[in-house]
Amino acid sequence: MTTTENTSPTAAGSGASATQAFRASQQQGAPEGGVSAERVSTVVQAVLAGVHEAIHTHQVTYPEFQAAKQWLIDVGEGGEWPLLLDVFVEHEVEDVASRTQQGSKGSILGPYYLPDQQKLPAVTALPMRADEQGTPLTFAGQVRDTAGNPLPGAELDIWHADDEGYYSGFAPHLPEGNLRGVVAVDEQGRFEIDTIQPAPYQIPTDGPTGMLITAAGWHPWRPAHLHLIVRAPGHRSITTQLYFEGGQWLDSDVAQATKPELVLDPHPQEDGRLRSEYDFVLEPA
């Protein structure tokens, strides 16, 4: 991925990178054969009906309509469509998808996933800076199928923010691949990953999404979290996030992406590291 526009940890920088990353991911992910006219008509009509109803119910004025138009233009120019949609909409799409999913609970992907990260063995440390800040954390567990058998062919694609809430690839001061990796589990489906505890994530306040949040008087925070995609041959992948017991914003995630089953309870070890265990269960594909 090129990061030419991304020269400082600003909303415009991370927005441009997130838009670029999304476009790259769409080369593989677009629905085969497109979407039928009937489906487009049904869903778009329902979306527009919701907008129309809000306008009538709340007697929206011309100045308000034009301000909304200006803001939507800014969302696009700032590259913030991935951020805005993943924060305010993706949780509903995930809720629909999760209704047909067995095994571990999923959560939203968000705008900061990058494919093709460093391959790592089952007992490992995520790539990090020599002076990486944050409480050291060991995250360990096992991947099994719905019958309880270990899945030795599984991998954990893991990524998370640093101790300041920034993601590598979306903040130019961070080395490429920092706090990201693809971990291959061992013969028992087990893994043990050394990393640091991430900080909560704040929506950039200098971009259009942050301006909306400020204008509405909401808070711009997501609780600290690990992102994961867990895959195994012949099984349905799980995209999820794991949070931390007692963490700030856990009960008021701006992205509404927390679930009670997704909260880790890390315990301090004798060496001062935190340790947390979590097992994943994948259903057959």
* Cα–Cα–Cα angle for 274, 130, 156, rounded to 5 degrees: 55
Q: Rounded to the nearest whole angstrom, what is the least distance from the CB of residue 141 to ligand MBD in the complex?
A: 21
* Cα–Cα–Cα angle for 263, 125, 164, rounded to 5 degrees: 60
Residue nearest to ligand MBD (CB): 110
- 122 binding partner (options ligand MBD, Fe ion, none; Cβ < 5 to 8 Å by kind): none
Q: Rounded to the nearest whole angstrom, what is the least distance from the CB of residue 127 to Fe ion in the complex?
A: 18
Local structure of residue 272 (DSSP, 8 states): S
- 86 binding partner (options Fe ion, ligand MBD, none; Cβ < 5 to 8 Å by kind): ligand MBD
- 139 binding partner (options ligand MBD, Fe ion, none; Cβ < 5 to 8 Å by kind): none
Q: Compute how many other C-beta atoms are within 10 angstroms of the C-beta atom of residue 176.
A: 13
Name the β-bridge partners of 231.
155
Q: Rounded to the nearest whole angstrom, what is the least distance from the CB of residue 222 to Fe ion in the complex?
A: 6
Q: Contact residues for ligand MBD (CB under 6 A)? A: 83, 86-87, 108, 110-112, 201, 222, 255, 257
Pick the closer one to ligand MBD by CB: 172 or 220.
220
**Going by C-beta distance under 8 Å and a sequence separation of 6 or more, which residues neighbour residue 219?**
213, 249, 252, 254
Longest dimension (CA), the chain: 64
When binding is defined by CB under 5 A, the residue of 110, 189, 200, 207 that contacts Fe ion is 110
Pick the closer one to Fe ion by CB: 110 or 247.
110
* Tokens 């979407």 belong to residue: 35
The one-letter code for the residue type at 239 is: T
Give residues in contact with Fe ion (CB under 5 A). Answer: 110
